[in-house]
Amino acid sequence: MSGIKGFTSAWLVYLALTLALLGFYLSKYTTLPGQVRQDIFRFMVGQETKFRTGQWDELQTEHYKIKYMNEDKADIVLVANAAEDAYKSVSNSMGQEPGMDTTIVIYPDSKSLAASFGWDKNEKALGVYWGGTIRVLAPSAWLSSIGQEDRFIKEGPMVHEFTHLMVDEMTGGNYNRWWTEGIAQYMERRITGFEFEDPFAGNRELYYYTFDNLEKNFDRLDQSVAYWESLKAVDFIVDRYGEEKIYEILRYLSNGDSMTKATEKALGTDYKTFSGDFYQYLENN
């Protein structure tokens, strides 16, 4: 990868020692305030990204630093415009802006995007949020030139991944996977109209996971069902208690409460009752 070129051995030693030290610090001092641990983690990811993309081209927009390879130059304006649109629409909806500019890295193909995370080369994704950075697959890698801009804005990853960034920002990193995936899909549907296909379409038999299972095993579950249920959970809260409760839960999480405690405080009910009501909601809908 071109980001390796041009780095001296001294830089490589510095980077390795820095990441090792910060990794030890982060794992050892688990009682640090959430914001401090989040800042450390974001610094680590930022250093890794800087190392890998040091020699890539760069475009600075109003709110982003976008890193890309020369072969993806034709995609840069489309990504930049979609990113700025996502910034405006998501920030307005959630009532908050990030505290700093965000780095976006554009990868030319699924293999290189997957490799940036050490994923299996067959892993497919249009975008990933990770530690303050957004990594996206180049639009030309999955879209034809006809109607490319409209499809990228509606079906592309920018609103979804920027919402992940905002959940991370608003909670100081204190959230679980199903919660951020539910909010990201909720915001994406509101802003772009996009929604994943219902896994139970065509009269497939309904099943769902417990919240405990979603929290502990999200990536090992059927992803179509896990994502669908995460969105349904957010929809249930909005339908039953009002949209403002989403942001109230985020505020409790930012204070260090667990998801269970934050939900109980915001909704005024115990978590067992909330869970039971939600499962009944799934059965009825």
Which pLDDT score, from 0 to 100, does residue 148 have?
Answer: 75
Q: What is the dihedral of CA 167, 169, 171, 173, to 10 degrees?
A: 100
The arrangement of secondary structure in 56-167, i.e. its CATH architecture, is 3-Layer(aba) Sandwich (3.40)
Average pLDDT score, the chain = 85
DSSP 154-223: HHSSHHHHHHHHHHHHHHTT---HHHHHHHHHHHHHHHH---PPPTTTTTPPP----HHHHHHHGGGS-H
16 confidence band (pLDDT: 50, 70, 90) = very low
Taking the alpha carbons at both ends of the chain, their separation in whole angstroms is 48
Q: What is the pLDDT of residue 146?
A: 57
- Amino acid in position 46: G
User: Does the structure show a pLDDT above 90 at 69?
Assistant: yes
Among 98-102, 193-197, 235-239, the least confident range: 98-102
More confident residue, 32 or 177: 177
Give the predicted TM-score (pTM) of the model: 0.84
Q: How far apart, in whole angstroms, are the C-alpha atoms of residue 135 and residue 277?
A: 37
pLDDT tens digits along 218-252? 999 999 999 999 999 999 999 999 999 999 999 99
- Reported confidence tier of residue 39, pLDDT bands at 50, 70, 90: confident
pLDDT at 26 over 80: no
Mean pLDDT along residues 13-35: 48
For residue 31, is pLDDT > 70? no
What's the pLDDT score for residue 123? Answer: 59
Judged against a pLDDT cut of 80, whether residue 30 lies above it is answered with no
What was the pLDDT predicted at 147?
Answer: 63
Which residue type sits at 91? S
The domain spans of the chain are 1-54, 56-167, 172-284
Q: Are 83 and 61 in contact (CB under 8 A)?
A: yes
Q: What pLDDT sits at residue 42?
A: 72
Say whether pLDDT at 8 is over 50.
no
Task: State percent of the chain over pLDDT 70.
Answer: 83
Q: How far is CA 1 from CA 15, 139, 206, in A?
A: 17, 20, 45
Least confident of 17-21, 194-198, 209-213: 17-21
Mean pLDDT over residues 76-99, rounded? 95
| Mode of pairing for the β-strands spanning 102-107 and 64-68 | parallel
- What is the mean pLDDT of the segment spanning 19-47? 59
Residue 139's pLDDT band (cuts 50, 70, 90) = very high
State the pLDDT at residue 120: 61
User: pLDDT at residue 256 above 90?
Assistant: yes
User: Considering Cα of 42, then 48, then 53, then 55, what sign does the dihedral take?
Assistant: positive
Q: Where are the beta strands (DSSP E) in the chain?
A: 57-60, 64-68, 102-107, 127-130, 133-137
